[in-house]
């Protein structure tokens, strides 16, 4: 390992797409959780965050025998809602991420919020991988739990393979109409110019090893500079909520830098800047969703990238979507307040 490789932060991956394409279910499948079934109407209404340690990703991808060299400590995945009314949350999520998964339902092809998400990603030149989800819904599909996609496709009947090819071609054509070249990832000879498609099922787990491996490999290959850990704190408020036993808390994504218990922070508030002290730095357990109430781990300090719940006085007026700033030893609080209110 080179020095640069030792000093990488976890990539932040945003999962986007039209409503009900299976974004949350894909994460449930990787986490071994049941978040989606607990959602009101099965609809995601908030941004979520889940941390996947490298060892879990290694375990999940080992069947691909890629000798996956994982230099990053893990992967932080941001779940976003696909419902049309949450454009602001999709925009916030895509603004935070290094790479994205754009989920398309193989039975539906491109839909309005697929295109909206695509445009948000293109606007920021964000790399993304297309997950062509729900392959298990193809008529007469024979599921093979958690299998790599090529292995399971080979074992499908000729009819299923033809139906898969037909729907895949349709999606590739639809992307083409949006001015985008896409190709099945293992046939893609022009990575970088042509975007990768990974067929998946959130129900059977098929294609998930491929998706995880490609995410990590592509991040490590193309974003070493961007993923190099920096001390300067870069942090965004996702949600403001009251949690029993903790009072008002803010959920944040720490993109870079380190936060410590006791740090003096400034966040943008409804009635002006809020200057307070981090009382507690909490995270859910690895592979658990930040937005779902559960037990929390307490930390003295946390290094980026991570989804964090912060408790502190006065945070009830914090505004979601704005930045969190740390008042450093040499900083003037007034300057930091000004930066915070510019958000
Ligand atoms: P929003 O967050 O509300 O935009 O939806 P979403 O994209 O997170 O989709 P969600 O995970 O809520 O899944 C929507 C529905 O599709 C649920 O009933 C899931 O069980 C189902 N579903 C998701 N993925 C798959 C899949 O791969 N195969 C099958 N058969 N069903 C799936
Ligand atoms: Mg969802
Ligand atoms: Na849904």
Q: What pLDDT was estimated at residue 5?
A: 65
Helices (H), 178-288: 208-222, 224-227
Length of the chain in terms of residues written = 343
**Protein residue whose Cα sits closest to atom 14 of ligand 1:** 20
In sequence order, the β-bridge partners of residue 306 are: 254
Q: Which residues in the chain show pLDDT less than 70?
A: 1-5, 66-68
Give the ligand with the smallest distance to the CA of 22.
Answer: 1
Ligand 2 is an ion; its neighbours by CB within 5 Å are: 23-24, 44
The answer, yes or no, to whether any atom of ligand 1 lies below 6 A from the CB of 80, is no
Q: What pLDDT was estimated at residue 25?
A: 98
Half-sphere exposure of 224 (CA within 13 A, CB side): 9
Under a CB-based contact definition with an 8 Å cutoff, are residues 26 and 103 in contact? yes
Predicted TM-score of the model (pTM): 0.97
Q: What pLDDT was estimated at residue 67?
A: 65
- Residue written as token pair 């790479």: 99
pLDDT digits (tens, 9 = 90+) for 80-119: 999 999 999 999 999 999 999 999 999 999 999 999 999 9
Q: What pLDDT was estimated at residue 244?
A: 87
Q: What pLDDT was estimated at residue 27?
A: 98
């Amino acid at each position: 390992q080179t020095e640069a490789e030792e000093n990488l932060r976890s990539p932040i991956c945003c999962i986007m797409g039209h409503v009900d394409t299976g974004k949350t279910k894909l994460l449930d499948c990787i986490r071994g959780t049941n978040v989606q079934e607990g959602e009101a109407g099965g609809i995601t209404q908030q941004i979520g965050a889940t941390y996947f340690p490298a060892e879990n990703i290694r375990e999940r991808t080992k069947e691909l025998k890629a000798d996956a060299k994982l230099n990053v400590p893990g992967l932080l995945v941001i779940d976003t809602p696909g419902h049309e009314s949450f454009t602001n949350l999709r925009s916030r999520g895509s603004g935070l991420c290094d790479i994205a998964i754009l989920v398309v339902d193989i039975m539906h092809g491109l839909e309005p919020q697929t295109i909206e998400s695509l445009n948000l990603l293109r606007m920021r030149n964000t790399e993304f991988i297309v997950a062509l989800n729900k392959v298990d819904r193809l008529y007469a599909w024979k599921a093979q739990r958690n299998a790599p996609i090529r292995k399971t496709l080979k074992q499908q009947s000729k009819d299923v393979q033809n139906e898969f090819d037909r729907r895949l071609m349709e999606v590739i054509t639809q992307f083409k109409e949006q001015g985008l070249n896409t190709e099945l990832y293992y046939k893609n000879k022009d990575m970088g110019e042509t975007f990768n498609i990974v067929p998946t099922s959130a129900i059977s787990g098929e294609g998930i090893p491929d998706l995880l491996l490609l995410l990590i490999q592509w991040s490590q290959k193309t974003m070493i500079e961007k993923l190099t850990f920096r001390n300067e704190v870069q942090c965004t408020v996702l949600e403001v909520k009251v949690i029993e036993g903790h009072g008002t808390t803010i959920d944040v994504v720490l993109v870079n830098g380190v936060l410590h218990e006791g740090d003096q922070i400034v966040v943008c508030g409804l009635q002006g800047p809020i200057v307070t002290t981090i009382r507690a730095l909490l995270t859910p357990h690895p592979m658990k969703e930040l937005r779902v109430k559960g037990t929390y781990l307490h930390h003295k300090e946390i290094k980026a990238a991570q989804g964090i719940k912060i408790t502190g006085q006065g945070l009830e007026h914090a505004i979601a979507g704005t930045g969190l700033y740390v008042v450093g030893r040499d900083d003037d609080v007034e300057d930091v307040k000004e930066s915070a209110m510019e958000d």
